[in-house]
Structure 1
Amino acid sequence: MRIIRIDSEGETIRLIETNESDEGVYAALSHCWGPPGVHPVRTTGDTISKYKDATPISELTAVFQDAIWLCKQLHVYDIWIDSLCIIQDDSHDWVTESSKMAQYYSNARFTIAVERSWDSNTHFLRDAEDRWQPLTYSTTDHNGHPVRYTIREHYSHEAYLEGLSNYFKRGKEILLSRGWGLQEAFLSTRLIHFTPSDVMLECRRTRGYFDAYHRHDSPGQTIRERLTRLETWPAWLLSEPVPPAIVLSRQESIHKIWTALINEYTLRTLSFQEDKLPAFGGIASYFTQYFSGRYLAGIWEGQIHVGLCWKVVDTGQTAVRSLALEEPTVPSWSWACLPVGVGVEGRETPIADNFNQNSQVIIHQAECQLSSPNAPFGRVSGGYILLEAPLYKVQIGCVSLSPKHPDWIQHTITWDSDAELSFEPTITFRHDTLLAVQDGKVTKATSGRQLEYLTDVSSFQGTAWVVLLVGLKNDVEGLVLGQVGNGPVYQRLGHVRMSVAHKEMKAPSRALIRIV
């Protein structure tokens, strides 16, 4: 482990290497790098020898200077900073060290979360902007007595996430909207948040504010607090067999927390698409204690049927406007294949009714090719799922939802008559990206040239296939698939949900297919 050693008496720092067994008390920094022109100082193959010597703190960027000053005030003289402790132009070192972030952040005495600075050159130890300063007013009460009261606006990340784009114009640039920042906060045992308006202290159980009058108005507990409650079982449960109902309830709650983390993470931004899995890898490694089987590009093998039933977030708009990636390395069945910023909802209920024997999906094989054996939760270079199930043939059409907005569309599914449904089901289809038709079959659109049908949406007609994965009461859920070539190879196009009991459907012949 590399660490930045702060000179307690002088004004210099050094990059040192320690054995993991020798790790002492240290802090960690969570911050925004900013755009390329204002990136922080970094350790590279050319600069590592420089930083191993005494380096003046004044040569560092503003955020690093502030973090080091704060550590000295708290008598902590080691700090882990990603851009300085990872050799940034060494791909092997980057993969190895980034895969250890769960360890680095969880073992830190505290993490400094810089949510006030949108790049490394902006000091966070500064007065808040005028917008967040308290204002004092004088008036009289109903008896005519003079009254003074003070009001103050507090930054609300919840308000920003709810789509109030004018609420805080720099909201997309700060740490709370950065993909890497989620796991850095989740894994830390203690955080000192420097928000646009406040300073907040947070541990795994509670939060505290320097402003005594600040009432935190976010709904309920944070995700981290919810998980901590589940991890801290009552003492009587440790000495007696745990009732099955409690075990099941706990498993369901942990699964909901996992899906909530995916949902929040996928709405955040990343500078590089290839970081989609690494920036979530620390969280995934933490959850190995709760889920069985291998980790397959964002999905747990032990819950693969339910894990595959993710869907794109309904943002209240009427279209998915993202093109698919031209050369994806993540398999289409993983939520991590989507472009950065496309939010995903996981299925919250992990337990579903079994299909009848003829309709059951049998997973024969599931594989992911890791880009590095040193990073089991990191990048992948492909993957597939080999499954056996009834394969329903469907027709995909398209309708316009607004004459003023050509790209506000909705794709429709027409079920093949061979399914022999006893009544017309209600079908909800959420496509993952924009779609196209090629040789009569529906596929993902990777280029604007494939979207000519937007001028006449009735011209969109193509064949796709559906495999149903889980059933719950009178609802069934599954995947809409597009055929790749002419063989039994398919890619995911989206998620489908039907309000019809699977027992009322005549399943077609079972097929052995590979989803890539």
Structure 2
Amino acid sequence: MRLVYRDAHVTIIAASARRVSEGFLQERPAAPITDHSTFLRDITLPFLCPPGKGHSGEHVVGELRVSPIWTYTDPPGQPSVQYNPNVEPVNDRGWCMQEYFMSPRSLVFASHTLQFHCQTAVQNIGSAYHDEERRARLPDVLFLQDEDLQLIADLGGDEWQLREAWHMLVRDYTRRSITVPGDKLVALGGIAEGMHRIFRTQYLAGLWRDTLLADLLWSKRVRSDIPRPREYRAPSWSWAA
């Protein structure tokens, strides 16, 4: 699946659909209209200017003018339009994580709008609000063609970014549900394959040999009740167990 998503021109993600019978092409609510003129005006900040050296007199009150380039408020009388992608049903499914992270471009039919995602930005139809800080993505190196990826691996570049990205993926993936327990590692295999081409170390059931001691320090979330799987899916020392 790694090459399917990586080489796709665009991936369509039905993020808002809870089941196959629900569909995702319904009309989205219009984004709330906000009067930018009320809060994007220049802001004037007063400050005291002491007399210059060798001069007597009182302090002078100066003014500092600030021009905001962006701000956010909830329109009066309306619920918050701040969007968290984790509320979408698709982001609770383990098998759907790869299509989100491994696609260089995607059309996301979210519950509140239609989004276009690429490696540099998110664009919302109708100017619906989207918090860019909530959007995680993989390092650009993983979207290179295999021959270029091999060159990066030879030079040893971007490995630290990939290590951090892998830990981010594991945190995201382990909160998702998997219907078939045996698919726990399989559903993450495409991303693991791409990272393996750079790490060049043995992949051990969700952990990496070169950083095995650090990878073994995983822990479950506080106050989370995780039942023991009925079927074997990974060694007990792996987070996938």
TM-score calculated relative to the size of structure 2: 0.69
1:307 aligned residue (215, 218, 233): 215
Aligned twin of 1:284: 192
CA distance change for structure 1 residues 254 and 134 in 2, over 3 Å: closer, same or farther?
A: closer
Matches within 5 A, 1:52-451: 101-128=1-28, 132-134=29-31, 154=81, 156-157=83-84, 160=87, 171=88, 174-212=89-127, 214-219=128-133, 222-224=136-138, 227-228=139-140, 250-314=158-222, 317=223, 320-337=224-241
- For 2:97 and 2:175, the matched residues in 1 are separated by 11
Contact 2:82 2:130 (8 Å CA) reproduced: no
Query: Quick check: 1:155–1:197 contact (8 Å CA) kept in 2?
Result: no
The alpha-carbon distance between structure 1 residues 206 and 328, as it changes in their structure 2 partners (threshold 3 A), is same
Bigger-Rg structure (1/2): 1
- Tell me the residue number matched to 1:394: none
> Relative to structure 1, is the Cα distance of residues 198 and 333 closer, same or farther in structure 2, using a 3 angstrom cutoff?
same
Change (3 A) 1:135 1:230: closer
Residue type matched to 1:311 in 2?
S
| Contact residue 108 and residue 188 of structure 1 kept, 8 A | yes
Number of aligned positions between the proteins: 194
Provide closer, same or farther for how the CA distance between residues 181 and 335 of structure 1 changes in structure 2, counting only shifts above 3 A: same
- After TM superposition, where is structure 1 displaced by more than 6 Å over at least 4 residues in a row? 148-152, 229-232
Structure 1 position 222, deviation (Å)? 2.2
Residues 297 and 321 of structure 1: is their aligned pair in 2 closer, same or farther, counting only changes over 3 Å?
Answer: same
C-alpha displacement at 1:197, in angstroms? 0.5
Cα offset, 1:223, TM superposition: 2.4
1:191–1:201 CA contact under 8 A, matched in 2: yes
Partners of 1:292 and 1:300 within 8 A in 2: no
Where does residue 72 of structure 2 map in the other structure?
A: none
Give % identity. 25
- Shift of residue 215, structure 1, vs aligned partner: 4.0
CA distance in 1, matches of 2:203, 2:193: 9
Distance, in Å, in 2 between the alignment partners of 1:152 and 1:194 is 21
Any idea what the Cα deviations from partners look like across 1:368-418, whole Å, max 9, x if unmatched?
Answer: xxxxxxxxxxxxxxxxxxxxxxxxxxxxxxxxxxxxxxxxxxxxxxxxxxx
CA distance in 2, matches of 1:310, 1:266: 11
Distance 1:298 1:116 in 2: 29
Are the counterparts in 2 of residues 133 and 153 from structure 1 also a CA contact under 8 Å?
no
Q: 1:215 to 1:333 in 2, by over 3 A?
A: same
CA spacing shift, 1:222–1:159, aligned 2, 3 Å: closer
Query: How much does 1:199 deviate?
Result: 0.3
Measure, in 1, the Cα distance between the counterparts of 2:107 and 2:79.
Answer: 21
Question: Aligned equivalents of 2:178 and 2:140: distance in 1?
Answer: 28
User: How much has 1:301 moved relative to structure 2?
Assistant: 2.0
Q: Post-superposition shift, 1:201?
A: 0.4
Hey, what's the Cα distance between the residues in 2 that align with 1:155 and 1:127? 19
Q: Which moved more, 1:302-311 or 1:189-198?
A: 302-311
- Alpha-carbon distance in structure 1 between the residues aligned to 2:221 and 2:22: 34
Secondary structure of 2:199's counterpart equals coil
Shift of 1:150: 10
More strand by share: 1
Between the aligned partners of 2:200 and 2:214, the Cα distance in structure 1 is 13
Equivalent residue number for residue 442 of structure 1: none
CA RMSD between the two structures: 3.2
Partner amino acid, structure 2, of 1:108: A
Whether contact under 8 Å (2:182, 2:231) holds in the other structure is: no
> 1:108, 1:336 → 2: CA distance?
29
Q: Quote the offset at 1:257 in angstroms.
A: 0.9
TM-score by length of 1: 0.34
Paired residue type of 1:197: H
Cα distance in 2 for partners of 1:330, 1:296 equals 10
Q: Distance in 1 between matches of 2:230 and 2:112?
A: 41
Distance apart, 1:302 and its partner CA = 2.3
User: What residue ranges of structure 2 are gaps of 5+ in the alignment?
Assistant: 39-74, 145-150
Please report how far the alpha carbon of residue 191 of structure 1 lies from its aligned counterpart in structure 2 after TM superposition: 0.2
Contact 2:84 2:131 in 1 (8 A): no
* Structure with the larger RCO, 1 or 2 (CA within 8 Å, 6+ apart): 2
Letter of the 2:162 partner, please give it: I
Measured in 2, the distance between the counterparts of 1:297 and 1:159 equals: 26
Shift of 1:207: 1.4
Paired amino acid for 1:114: A
Tell me by how many angstroms 1:123 deviates: 2.4
More helix by share: 2
SS of the equivalent of 2:240 reads helix
